[in-house]
Structure 1
Amino acid sequence: MDAPKKIGILGGTFDPPHLGHLKLATHFSKLLHLDELLLIPSGEPWQKDSSITSAEIRFQMTEAAGTDLARAFLYLEIPTQIGIDRIEIDRAGPSYTLDTVKALRDRFGPQVSLTWLMGADTLFNLPTWNSWDQLLSYVNFAVASRPQHALSMEMGAEIKSLLSQHQTIDAGALEKSLFGHIYIDNSLAVDLSSTHLRNQLKSVSRSSIGSEQIPSRTLEIITNLGLYK
């Protein structure tokens, strides 16, 4: 039997996209042998405040980051195809992840492996999402942990229960599974956050931000449009 096509999904506000996003995308694209990776900027992120950058500009920044990511994949010989998807921006109303994974499942069909990529903080925050307990009926989760952090001490009872039912210690299981598995990877250290970078861009240390924090093409858009001042 042929292995299913493997599609990874990295969603987020991307306000702005940063090297942490790209490191996570690169790591899991290689580890999970993804055929395709979708970067999905949220349209109306209902858990964020009203000061968020407009969806179209965030989409533009994510496209720019995707171009840098594609160049990195070419250099690293990672064959994963990259797409920047407007699914949440073009859908009216709050951007609920459940609506997105349902639509992607309808788009790609039942025989494709869909894996949502996230950091450990997102996993811990999952119970605050709309209908979060239904997500694994449509996708797998690939989670980037934080080294030297005791995850079991930081996660709530609901996530511990979720892991007891769905966690696998074999990354290969996500390649074979269409949905329903959680894999936690302990080898990737991602320390950047969009909130921290926005605060830095608003401060006197703005000029110290470089391409080791924000992708160069994204940083160019931020500079040209005078964002986050």
Structure 2
Amino acid sequence: MSTIKKIGILGGTFDPPHVGHLRLATHFAKLLKLDALLLIPSGEPWQKGSGITPAETRLQLTEAAGIDLARAFLYLKIPTQAGIDRIEIDRARPSYAIDTVKALRERFGSSASLNWLMGVDSLVALPNWNSWEKLSQYVNFAVANRPRHDLKQKMNPEVHQFLEDHQTMQAAALENSPAGLIYIDKSLNVDLSSTELRGQLKSSSRSSIASKKIPTHTLEIITKLGLYQQSS
């Protein structure tokens, strides 16, 4: 039995969290045999511009989604512990992943396997992240395919070289590696666009879309707070 602690990190604006996030989390929790999976809502998402729901509200929505994630783990007999971390919310400056992974590495120690979960669209956009080329010193990347995102077509030379240097074809390799590997999972096609979902929630078919795409407990809070309504 491996004694290395295996941690999954799923960061994002979570505006709002949706079933795509939970599918991604559940898939990699099982595949990578994660001990814990942290949902980390961003504080000030510097790349997203204005119009983002306040951080404390997004944290509340993410905590609600965490209840549904924990129940999914229980139902599927996945022994991963689900947690919500406010590390970026509490940071009094824009959210940079590099600061987060440094802090998590300090928290969990040098031998822990830290795995940043993301969609392939985020992998393609990595060169836009602050100090992105240093991230692999602190974490592995577990990447899910996304519909309408062809990695080969959208990948620039920097990302291509990053993959050449770090990609592994074996998911199990991440379990024994603290950092430095990239695994692209082709079995999961998941749509992770909160931006599109916010637009859909402002349409006339809001109720049917919401019940299919938003976790139950998150939807209760969205309804209670009157979020993502069509502006009059």
Task: Give distance in 1, aligned partners of 2:147 and 2:192.
Answer: 14
Deviation by residue 1:115-156 (Cα, 9 ceiling, x = unmatched): 000000000011001000000000000000136864212211
The aligned counterpart of 1:212 is: 212
208-217 vs 171-180, which moves further = 208-217
* Structure 1 segment 129-148 matched on structure 2, within 5 A: 129-146=129-146
Note if 1:160 corresponds to 2:160.
Answer: yes
Q: CA distance change for structure 1 residues 15 and 148 in 2, over 3 Å: closer, same or farther? A: closer
Asked whether the equivalents of residues 147 and 188 of structure 1 are also in contact (C-alpha less than 8 Å), the reply is no
Would you say the 8 A contact 2:6–2:114 is kept in 1? yes
Give identity over the alignment, percent.
71
What do the CA deviations read for 1:197-226 (whole angstroms, capped 9, x no partner)? 100112222122243300011011111111
Scaled by the length of structure 1, the TM-score of the pair is 0.97
Q: Match of 2:183, SS? A: strand
Are residue 201 (structure 1) and residue 201 (structure 2) matched?
yes
1:32-71 correspondence runs (5 A):
32-71=32-71
Amino acid at match of 1:67: I
In the alignment, does 2:20 pair up with 1:23? no
| Partner SS, residue 204 of structure 1 | coil
How many pairs were matched up? Answer: 229
Is 2:21 aligned against 1:6?
no
User: For the structure 1 residues 148 and 54, does the alpha-carbon distance in structure 2 shift closer, same or farther, using more than 3 Å as the test?
Assistant: closer
Shift of 1:192: 4.3
Quickly say closer, same or farther: Cα 1:23–1:154, change in 2 above 3 A: same
CA contact (8 A) 2:121 2:149 kept: no
Give the structure 1 partner of residue 127 of structure 2: 127
SS in 2 for 1:102: helix
Task: State whether residues 192 and 213 of structure 1, in contact with CA within 8 Å, keep that contact through their aligned partners in structure 2.
Answer: no
SS at match of 1:188: strand
1:98 aligns with 2:98: yes
Q: Secondary structure at the match of 1:224?
A: helix
Q: 1:104 to 1:220 in 2, by over 3 A?
A: same
In structure 2, distance between residues paired with 1:170 and 1:8: 17
**Structure 1 148/217 Cα, relative in aligned 2: closer, same or farther at 3 Å?**
closer
Structure 2 unaligned residues grouped into runs of 5+: none
Instruction: Answer whether contact 2:120 2:149 (CA < 8 A) is retained.
Output: no
Question: What is the TM-score when the length of structure 2 is the normalising length?
Answer: 0.95
Q: Partners in 2 of 1:58 and 1:207 — Cα distance?
A: 20
